[in-house]
Amino acid sequence: MGAVHGTTEDIATRDGTADAYLAHPDGGGPFPAVLLYMDAFGLRPQLKKMADRLASAGYTVLVPNVFYRHGRAPVIDLPDFVDPGERPELFERLGPIIQSLTPEATMRDADAYLAWLSECPMVKGGPVGVTGYCMGAGLALRTAGTYPDRVAAAAGFHGANLASTAADSPHLLAARIKAELYFGHADQDRALPPEQIERLNGVLAAAGVHHRCEVYAGAHHGFTQADTAAYDLAAAERHWAALLDLFARTL
């Protein structure tokens, strides 16, 4: 992996100040931009490592703390290794924070993140790439549909409720999307049952969105996150290959 420079940044939003991690190759630039949306466990060393790996491939990567309304990261104290089965109280604390994030609020924030990237001297002009994990996969899909002219590619991994029956489900934005999409689903994932995968595929196909949805056999929700019990090395490396391929073609 090439040398990477990482910094903490503050991003002014309409609702306050979001702290974020920014990574880019050390030397040269500017580079194509990627907005990386966190999972429910938030901005932490694991996500910074993922941003660094992505940056080493030639991108400027921004990882905002989407829970900033509740404080700077880490919003809740996490163990170095997260096993939700042994720590149910983590979800008891995270649940209300996640529920408080409305689609309207997250997309106001997305506007601020995209605007900040457009002004960043380490960012090459043009549409950006977006990737998201767990709840972040829904944010990536929603961002692609809300700001179609600003997103060239979007990916989501072990996403939750991407195509539910809710009136504000992110898949309902499919007709607006111009980006190429890639989704890597976990087949052992109660947060995205087969009927939602089928619904998402159908809506994207009907809208003419260039997309690929793959189900990773044997993978569990959270398979990309090396600091959790759900981590699956083979599935995580498959995710990296697919993500880097998507961005190489589109950015």
Question: In this structure, which amino acid lies at residue 18?
Answer: A
* Measured distance CA(246)–CA(251) in Å, rounded: 8
Residue 155 pLDDT > 80: yes
Which one has a higher pLDDT value, 83 or 38?
38
User: Using 50, 70 and 90 to split pLDDT, how confident is the model at 91?
Assistant: confident
Tokens of 168: 């504000």
Average pLDDT over residues 161-177: 97
* Measured distance CA(64)–CA(73) in Å, rounded: 9
Count of other CB atoms within 10 angstroms of residue 65: 24
pTM for the model stands at 0.97
| CATH at residue 201 | 3.40.50.1820
* Measured distance CA(206)–CA(61) in Å, rounded: 31
Half-sphere exposure of 170 (CA within 13 A, CB side): 28
User: Using 50, 70 and 90 to split pLDDT, how confident is the model at 89?
Assistant: confident
What is the pLDDT at residue 85?
Answer: 79
Count of other CB atoms within 10 angstroms of residue 186: 24
Average pLDDT over residues 212-218: 97
Give me the chain's average pLDDT, please. 96
Beta-bridge partner residues of 10: 19
> 16 is in which domain, residue-wise?
4-250
What is the pLDDT at residue 226?
Answer: 98
Q: For strands 180-188 and 151-157, give the pairing.
A: parallel
Number of domains composing the chain: 1
What is the pLDDT at residue 209?
Answer: 98
What is the pLDDT at residue 88?
Answer: 82
Residue 41 pLDDT > 90: yes
What is the pLDDT at residue 165?
Answer: 96
User: Using 50, 70 and 90 to split pLDDT, how confident is the model at 43?
Assistant: very high
3-state helix/strand/coil string of the chain: CCCEEEEEEEEEECCEEEEEEEEEECCCCCECEEEEECCCCCCCHHHHHHHHHHHHCCCEEEEECCCHHHCCCCCCCCCCCECCCCCHHHHHHHHHHHHCCCHHHHHHHHHHHHHHHHHCCCECCCCEEEEEECHHHHHHHHHHHHCHHHEEEEEEECCCCCCCCCCCCHHHHHHHCCCEEEEEEEEECCCCCHHHHHHHHHHHHHCCCCEEEEEEEEEECCCCCCCECCCCHHHHHHHHHHHHHHHHHHC
Taking only the tens place, the pLDDT of each residue in 177-211 is 999 999 999 999 999 999 999 999 999 999 999 99
Taking only the tens place, the pLDDT of each residue in 1-30 is 689 999 999 999 999 999 999 999 999 999
Average pLDDT over residues 59-63: 99
| R_g of the chain computed on alpha carbons | 17
Which long-range CB contacts under 8 A does 119-122 form with residues at least 24 apart? 120/22, 120/30, 120/33, 120/60, 120/62, 121/29, 121/30, 122/22, 122/24, 122/29, 122/30, 122/31, 122/60
Residue 62 pLDDT > 90: yes
